[in-house]
């Protein structure tokens, strides 16, 4: 038995849409019906007036920051515990990312630690809805209003997640999504910027497509980027969006099944769902604590031998050697993020998983905790 950490949820619907795009001969990011349709449908789904499709979640973040005028000497407050694409986007603009430690239960940015990091150089808070659980946005928005800061939401892992009944990506000034192959819905590669601000939307739309001029296309209005999503990718996105609620429902049921069967095992910290949140459980991350008796590397190796793929938790910004060596950050700045990074790992949570596979995974974790099958391993 081989059980992958994640698999895309694809069927004949994607094939139908792709063949339609191919039949039209419109496969680039400049022409074809599906770019506009995907942007309109996804922005509507996310509760936003505007959606701008991009070629990745990273480029969506970059465009969001660029559209806000973020640049050299600016500081952006970012959850330390995230995919490094979040930090790279800040660095692309020449700005300085300031890592903020995380909450020990949600693994999201800790709002209580933000104000002490704000100074005259601070321009924005970049809130990452990690693993599909929404950030506690009310205190973030309150702080942003108090200091005149932008709020950018990194929703790469949180399509459809709700904060107090409101879709993520519509709460701040700009939302950024990823449609990489392992995301809630996928276009293979791709991203989306969402906003309710027409000026920001126009700026993002221009920048993503080389900032072509309006009167003379080749008289450019800014330093633009080649960040367009292809029409054929958008076609896949349109098909995926039709089943997003089904995918989220399956992901949530899988997470709840894990919760029911793993919560009594000593030494495991499982994902949470706060009363203000609807968690879409992009990944089911487990953090080993005192009492489990075996280190993460051993557990992952044993599960791999049993045919169960696992993946380490993200390594935070303050633990990345490249940034430590440059003197930009100290490793000990974010102790909670460090602990999760060193002790966390994902187990499979694809919507394609059935009860037999889930029971097998659960049984193997329980066996490790009991020490069964450990001798000679």
32 in the Ramachandran plot: left (φ > 0), alpha (ψ -120 to 50) or beta?
left
Give me the phi and psi of 221, to 5 degrees please: -95, -10
Pairing of strands 162-163, 150-154: unpaired
- The DSSP output letter for 4 is -
Q: Determine the average pLDDT of the residues in 237-242.
A: 98
Residue in the block written with tokens 């609807």: 278
Tokens of 183: 């995301």
Q: Greater confidence, 372 or 201?
A: 201
Q: Which pLDDT value is given to residue 376?
A: 54
Q: Is the fold of 12-101+109-241 the same as that of 244-370?
A: no
The ranges assigned to domains in the chain are 12-101+109-241, 244-370
- Is 165 strand, coil or helix? coil
Tokens of 339: 């602990």
Give me the phi and psi of 286, to 5 degrees please: -115, 135
Q: Is the pLDDT of residue 377 over 60?
A: no
Residue range 254-271, pLDDT digits in tens: 999 999 999 999 999 999
Q: Which pLDDT value is given to residue 239?
A: 98
For 39-59, b where at least 16 C-beta lie within 10 A, e where not — what string? bebbbebbbbebbbbbbbbbb
281 in the Ramachandran plot: left (φ > 0), alpha (ψ -120 to 50) or beta?
left
Instruction: List the beta strands (DSSP E) in the chain.
Output: 50-54, 75-79, 96-100, 122-128, 150-154, 162-163, 166-167, 174-178, 191-195, 268-269, 277-278, 284-288, 311-312, 344-347
Distance in angstroms (rounded) separating the CA atoms of residues 272 and 62: 30
Give me the phi and psi of 255, to 5 degrees please: -60, -45
Q: Is the pLDDT of residue 375 over 80?
A: no
Picking from 312, 313, 319, 301, the residue whose alpha carbon sits closest to that of residue 364 is: 301
Q: Which pLDDT value is given to residue 254?
A: 99
Q: Into which CATH architecture does domain 244-370 fall?
A: Alpha-Beta Complex (3.90)
Distance in angstroms (rounded) separating the CA atoms of residues 183 and 17: 19
Q: Which residues contact 110 (CB under 8 A, 6 or more apart)?
A: 100, 101, 102, 103, 336
CA distances from 48 to 25, 98, 213, 365 (A): 30, 28, 26, 41
Q: Which pLDDT value is given to residue 352?
A: 97
What global pTM score does this model have? 0.96
User: What percentage of the chain exceeds 70 in pLDDT?
Assistant: 98
Residue range 146-166, pLDDT digits in tens: 999 999 999 999 999 999 999
Residue in the block written with tokens 């009594």: 264
Residue in the block written with tokens 């969001």: 64
Picking from 68, 273, 99, 279, the residue whose alpha carbon sits closest to that of residue 175 is: 68
CATH of domain 12-101+109-241: 3.40.640.10
Cβ atoms within 10 A of the Cβ of 118, count? 17
188: which strand partners?
Answer: 180
């Amino acid at each position: 038995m081989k059980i992958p950490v994640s698999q895309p949820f694809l069927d004949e619907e994607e094939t139908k849409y792709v063949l339609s795009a191919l039949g039209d001969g419109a496969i680039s990011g400049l022409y074809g019906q599906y770019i506009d349709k995907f942007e309109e449908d996804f922005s509507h789904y996310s509760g936003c007036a505007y959606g701008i499709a991009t070629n990745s979640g990273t480029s969506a973040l970059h465009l969001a920051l660029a559209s806000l005028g973020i640049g050299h000497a600016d500081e952006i407050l970012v959850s330390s515990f995230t995919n490094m694409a979040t930090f790279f986007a800040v660095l692309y603009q020449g700005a300085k990312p300031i890592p903020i430690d995380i909450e020990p239960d949600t693994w999201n940015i800790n709002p209580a630690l933000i104000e002490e990091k704000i100074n005259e150089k601070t321009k924005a808070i970049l809130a990452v809805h990690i693993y599909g659980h929404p950030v506690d946005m009310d205190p973030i928005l309150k702080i942003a209003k108090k200091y005149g800061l932008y709020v950018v939401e990194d929703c790469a892992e949180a399509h459809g997640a709700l904060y107090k009944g409101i879709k993520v990506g519509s709460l701040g000034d700009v939302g950024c999504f990823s449609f990489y192959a392992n995301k809630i819905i996928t276009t293979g590669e791709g991203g989306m910027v969402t906003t309710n601000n027409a000026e920001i939307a126009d700026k993002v739309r221009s920048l993503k497509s080389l900032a072509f001029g309006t009167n003379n296309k080749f008289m450019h209005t800014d330093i633009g980027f080649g960040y367009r999503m292809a029409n054929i990718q958008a076609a896949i996105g349109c098909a995926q969006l039709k089943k997003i609620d089904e995918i989220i429902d399956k992901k949530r049921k899988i997470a709840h099944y894990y919760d029911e069967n793993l919560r009594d095992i000593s030494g495991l910290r499982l994902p949470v769902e706060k009363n203000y949140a609807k968690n879409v459980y992009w990944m089911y991350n487990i953090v080993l604590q005192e009492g489990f008796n075996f280190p993460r590397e051993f557990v992952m190796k044993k599960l791999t031998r049993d045919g169960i793929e696992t993946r380490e938790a993200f390594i935070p910004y303050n633990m990345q050697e490249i940034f430590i060596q440059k003197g930009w950050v100290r490793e000990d700045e974010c102790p909670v993020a460090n602990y999760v990074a060193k002790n966390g790992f994902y187990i499979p949570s694809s919507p394609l998983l059935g009860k037999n596979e889930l029971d097998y995974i659960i049984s193997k974790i329980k066996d490790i905790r009991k020490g069964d099958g450990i001798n000679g391993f």
